[in-house]
Every structure is written in C-alpha cells, then in structure tokens.
Amino acid sequence: MRAVFGIDVSKVGSEVAILVNGEQVHGYTMPNDAIGFSRLLGDLKTVQHPEIVFEATGVYSRRLQTFLEENSYAYTRLNPLEAKKQLDSLRVRKTDKIDAEKLAQSQFVLNRKPTYVQEEVYQQLRDLSRFYQNLTEDIVRAKNRLHKVLQVTFPELENILSTPTGEQYWNLVTAFPCKDFVLNQTNSELMNSIRQSTSKRISDKRVASLAEKLTELAEQSYGAIKKTSPMVEEVRYYAQELLRLSKRRQAVLDEMVTFAQPLPEYEILLSIPGIAETTATSIIGELGDIRRFQSANQINAFIGIDLRHYESGNFLAKEHITKRGNPYARKILFKCIHNIASASHTKPCHIADFYEKRKRQSQGTSTKPHTIASMHRLIRTIHYITSLRIINFTIILQPKISKVVYALLL
C-alpha cells in the first residue's frame, strides 16, 4: 500500500488530500497551528512510510516543514515554478482543494525524491543573512534621508571627514545638526563637544583640527532653517538611527561568523582572495549545504544564472540568464567577482585571471556577461572543493593551476 499526502499550504490554513494507491480516501482543511498539525500527525501515524508533498510558499510553509522535521517525517518540498509546470497539464479548475489532490496524484506518476534536509545551522545562517541584508537596506535608506535633510540644515558638514559615513561622522552630525550649534560656542566649548560626541579616544591635535574645520564650514554655510526648526531633530533622528542600525548589523555579522566557523566551507571561501567574513557567511547562508547539489549546474539553476536557450528553424535567440532562483545569492556572488578582481592586484587567483581574459577578448562590451561567466567558474571551484573535502585546496586557487586539476574543474 502506498499512501501520499498532498498539502496545499496557505497563510492561515492548509488543504490536505490523502491518496492510497492513487485513489483519494480522505481530504480536509486544517489550520496551520498546533491543533491542525496534531490532526495531521494522527493521520500520518495510521500508515507506514507516508509520502508527503507540498509546495514551498515562503514563510507560510516553514511551520509545516518544521513540524515534519521534528516528527522525523521525510517530505518533498516543491519549488513553486516547478509545481506549476508539473500540475498545469493536469489542472482544469484551480482551487486549493484541487491543488492538494493534484499534488498527491502527480507523486504516483513522477515519484519525486524526498527533499534533502540540511542541518539546522544552515537555516540559522540563512535567517541571519536575510536579516543582515534587510539591515543593510535600512542603512542605505537612512543615509539617503539624512543626506536629503542635511542639504537644508548644514550641507557643508558632509565635508568634515573624508567620507560622510561611519560612527564618528554620525556622532558629529548628532552634535552639530546646523551651523548655529557650532558658531554659538567658543573654541574650547567646541572642542569639549567634539570629545563628548565620540565614544573613542582621539588626540587633542585631532580634536583641534576638527574644531577648526567645523568653524570654517559653519562660517561659509548658509542654512535654510533656524536652530529651532523641527528639521534639526529630524537630522539627529537619522544620525542616531544609523548608529543603532550599524551596531545591530555588526552584531548580526558576529553571530553569523560564530555559526559559520565550524563549517568546512567557511575556511575554503575565506581562502579565496577578495572574500572576507561578510561575503563568506552570506554565501553559506544563501546557498546552504553545497554538498546537496550533485553538480555546479544545479547551483547555477538555484541562483538563476543558467542560460535560457531558444531556437526555432533558422532563428537562434541570444542567450540570457533565466534569473529564476535565489536573487540574494545572485547579488552576493555578482559583487564577489568584482571583489576578487580588485584583490587580484596583490593576491592573484585563477578566477580573477579568467575574468580579465574574458574582458580582453571582448573589449567595449558590457562587463555583465564576463561577471556571470566568472560566477560560474567560482561556483564550480567551490562545489568541487567542498564536495571532495580537499585539504590542500589552496593549490587549486593559484593562478598557474595545473592542467590536470584545471581539467577537473571544467
């Protein structure tokens, strides 16, 4: 007897269809809570080796997935695009109840393998990686808003340091949101304000230099508001928000490093020139356990850099990447290639050599195709080293790579 549970997951509840040897014997709607999962567990215990199929629906299917893993049940989690393509030919009408039934029916035909269950540390790293990305987006948004409002209150303040960013700069913005806060103080009072505005110890010479420059910038400034304007508090709010967000993001990064350090792929990624802690932990968080992929091409499809090929008669369309997959991983690896290329001046490696070679071969065109090709080369290297657990992997990353090892990477 073969029993298949097809589950269509939605926000509040899920439709369950139970098929035995291809015939539906039961179906019901359950809430996605302890009561609903308790009912599902009772049904699962009535059969031996149940096959469970459901479609990944983002955060909504996480609870069902956790429930199944905690009760040691294997399951098949389908990508939404994959599920759509597999079920479209079977659908006449579309409802949640029909979708659950068709998921179960298709399992008897397709015999899908159970989904690879990763260690919990990879899910924790993914959650932290998404949190880190969200904090980065919030920081960029707050920077833009601070710049906009500072153009009204004290635009010259952005020239106080070499770059208008960082803890010291945001502390200075909090202390001196408009020129009146500078000009209404004596030189000694101004120097004391600068000392109090920073958490780090700075020399008297540095304080005097900042005070002199602040006074010079304030004297040449012509602000559009007065000291009592509400925009002054707005400037302070964004500066303090940037301080808070940057500290929180650093704490998240430290936690990511703590989780990633025991993993074998962490040291492998750090050995590649141009990849530091932030990039290494983010790659592991988004790709997960790389050993679950049987080939590098599967990783390409997972992040959406596999090529779309279209040919009909004498027409051959230009190939483009599908962009179906993990956009976070695609963005991280895209930036990673440029970091590797920048670091190649002092720390060369075969990935940077490949990137420069592709650039020379097609001068004057966009660098995006070369970056995508280099991403594929990087993925193949990481997958090969990680899968075989090579101890002396630094040999592979040298620019003058042996022909035998190079052939294995192709």
Contact 25, 18 (CB under 8 A): yes
Residues 30 and 51: beta-carbon distance below 8 Å: no
Based on the domain organization, do 379 and 336 belong to the same domain?
A: yes
For residue 55, which of 81, 82, 77 has the smallest C-alpha distance? 77
* Domain CATH code at residue 86: 3.30.420.10
Residue-level pLDDT at 351: 92
CA–CA gap between residue 105 and residue 110 (Å, rounded):
9
Quickly list DSSP for 14-83.
Answer: EEEEEEETTEEEEEEEEESSHHHHHHHHHHHTTSSS-EEEEE--GGGGHHHHHHHHHTT---EEEPHHHH
Note whether 128 and 80 are same-domain residues: no
Same domain, 94 and 153: no
Same structural domain, 251 and 313: no
Domain presence at residue 146: yes
Please list, in sequence order, all residues whose beta carbon lies within 8 angstroms of the beta carbon of residue 77, skipping any fewer than 6 positions away. 54, 55, 56, 61, 65, 115
Domain-embedded: residue 381: yes
Q: What local confidence, expressed as pLDDT, does residue 257 receive?
A: 96
Give the pLDDT of residue 298: 92
Determine, yes or no, domain membership for 229: yes
Q: Confirm if 30 and 43 have CB atoms less than 8 A apart.
A: no
Using a 10 angstrom Cβ sphere, with 0-12 exposed, 13-18 middle and 19 or more buried, the burial of residue 57 is middle
10-residue stretch averages of pLDDT, the chain, 410 residues long: 94 94 94 95 94 92 95 93 77 82 92 92 95 96 96 95 93 94 92 87 91 94 90 96 97 96 92 92 94 91 84 74 89 93 90 89 77 92 77 45 42
Distant-in-sequence, close-in-space partners of 57: CB < 8 Å, separation ≥ 6: 9, 10, 80
94 with 160, same domain: the answer is no
What 3-state class would DSSP assign to 216?
A: helix
Same domain, 81 and 61: yes
Burial of 25 (0-12, 13-18, 19+ CB in 10 A): exposed
User: Are the C-beta atoms of residues 175 and 194 closer than 8 Å to each other?
Assistant: yes
Q: 402 lies in a domain?
A: yes
* Helices and strands of the chain, counted as H and E runs: 17, 9
In a domain, 161, yes or no: yes
Domain assignment of residue 72, yes or no: yes
Residue 165 CB partners (closer than 8 Å, separation 6+)? 143
Residue at which a domain ends, from 83, 110, 137: 110
- pLDDT at site 404: 40
| H-helix or E-strand spanning residue 284 | helix 277-287
Residue finishing a domain among 239, 257, 275: 257
Q: Which residue has the tokens 């350090």?
A: 261
d(CA 370, CA 114): 36
User: Is the domain of 245 the same as that of 275?
Assistant: no
Separation between Cα atoms, residue 4 and residue 315, nearest integer Å:
44
**Whether residues 147 and 221 fall in one domain:** yes
Q: Are residues 27 and 74 in the same domain?
A: yes
Q: How does DSSP classify residue 401?
A: -
* Contact present, 102 and 86 (Cβ < 8 Å): no
pLDDT of residue 402: 41
Domain count within the chain = 3
CATH code of the domain in which 179 resides: 1.10.287.4070
Q: How far apart are CA 384 and CA 138, in angstroms?
A: 36
* Cα 399 from Cα 208, distance rounded (Å): 49
Q: Are residues 359 and 287 in the same domain?
A: yes
Is residue 90 one of the residues assigned to a domain? yes
Domain boundary among 227, 257, 287: 257
Contact 101, 6 (CB under 8 A): yes
Among candidate residues 116, 390, 216, 170, the one with its CA nearest the CA of residue 409: 390
Distance in Å from the first CA to the final CA of the chain:
45
Rounded Cα distance, 302 and 327, in Å = 9
Structural domain containing residue 192: 123-257
- Report residue 29 CA to chain centroid gap: 34
Same domain, 78 and 137: no
Asked whether residue 115 is assigned to any structural domain, the reply reads: no
99 and 152: one domain? Answer: no
Picking from 72, 53, 228, 47, the residue whose alpha carbon sits closest to that of residue 153 is: 228
Place of tokens 């893993």: 69
CA distance 210 to 194: 8
